[in-house]
């Protein structure tokens, strides 16, 4: 299998952008996330992310984004795959937790979905 490296800039199929700025020796990583969608009128802001990856060729990983513009939190779990041409892809499943007023409303608090990320390559200006 080809190597897959989480460091760098990624975009998903929604058009969201993610930058993984550093990965430490033990696989802990940090970065920023800019979502293309939010379902609200509130201004979208860059939000911090932190997570862990396995130290392996095609690592499994998990990370959390703490949305700076809402009470919500999203977590992603997935794996980094590299193909024969050296192209890397992140296949993930996410849970988006939004704050509920009461325990009785808990049932509606969690959305689930999938995101696919590929490398963001700078376009010429």
Residues forming contacts to ligand B9F in the complex (CB under 6 A) are 12, 14, 16, 35, 37-40, 67, 70, 72, 74, 94, 96, 98, 113, 115
Residue of minimal Cβ distance to ligand B9F: 16
First to last CA, the chain: 35
Q: Which two tokens stand for residue 40?
A: 């609200």
For ligand B9F, the closer of residues 2 and 48 by Cβ is 48
How long is the chain?
125
Helix%, strand%, coil% for the chain, nearest 5: 5, 50, 45
Task: Compute the least distance from the CB of residue 122 to ligand B9F, in Å.
Answer: 20
Task: Compute the least distance from the CB of residue 103 to ligand B9F, in Å.
Answer: 18
Burial 18-54 (b: 16+ CB within 10 A, else e): bbbeebeeeeebebbbebeeeeeeeebeebebebbbe
For ligand B9F, the closer of residues 42 and 83 by Cβ is 42
Task: Compute the least distance from the CB of residue 57 to ligand B9F, in Å.
Answer: 26
Contact predicate 78/61, CB 8 Å: yes
For ligand B9F, the closer of residues 10 and 29 by Cβ is 10
For ligand B9F, the closer of residues 16 and 58 by Cβ is 16
Task: Compute the least distance from the CB of residue 31 to ligand B9F, in Å.
Answer: 13
């Amino acid at each position: 299998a080809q190597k897959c490296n989480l460091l760098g800039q990624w975009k998903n199929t929604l058009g969201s952008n993610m930058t993984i700025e550093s990965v430490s020796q033990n696989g802990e990583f940090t970065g920023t996330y800019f979502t293309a969608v939010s379902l609200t009128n509130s201004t979208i802001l860059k939000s911090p992310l932190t997570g862990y990856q396995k130290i392996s060729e095609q690592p499994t990983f998990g990370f959390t984004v703490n949305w700076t513009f809402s009470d919500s939190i999203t977590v992603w779990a997935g794996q980094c795959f590299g193909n024969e041409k050296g192209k890397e892809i992140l296949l993930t499943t996410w849970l988006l937790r939004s704050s509920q007023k009461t325990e009785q409303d808990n049932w509606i608090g969690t959305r689930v979905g999938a995101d696919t990320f590929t490398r963001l390559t700078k376009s010429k200006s």
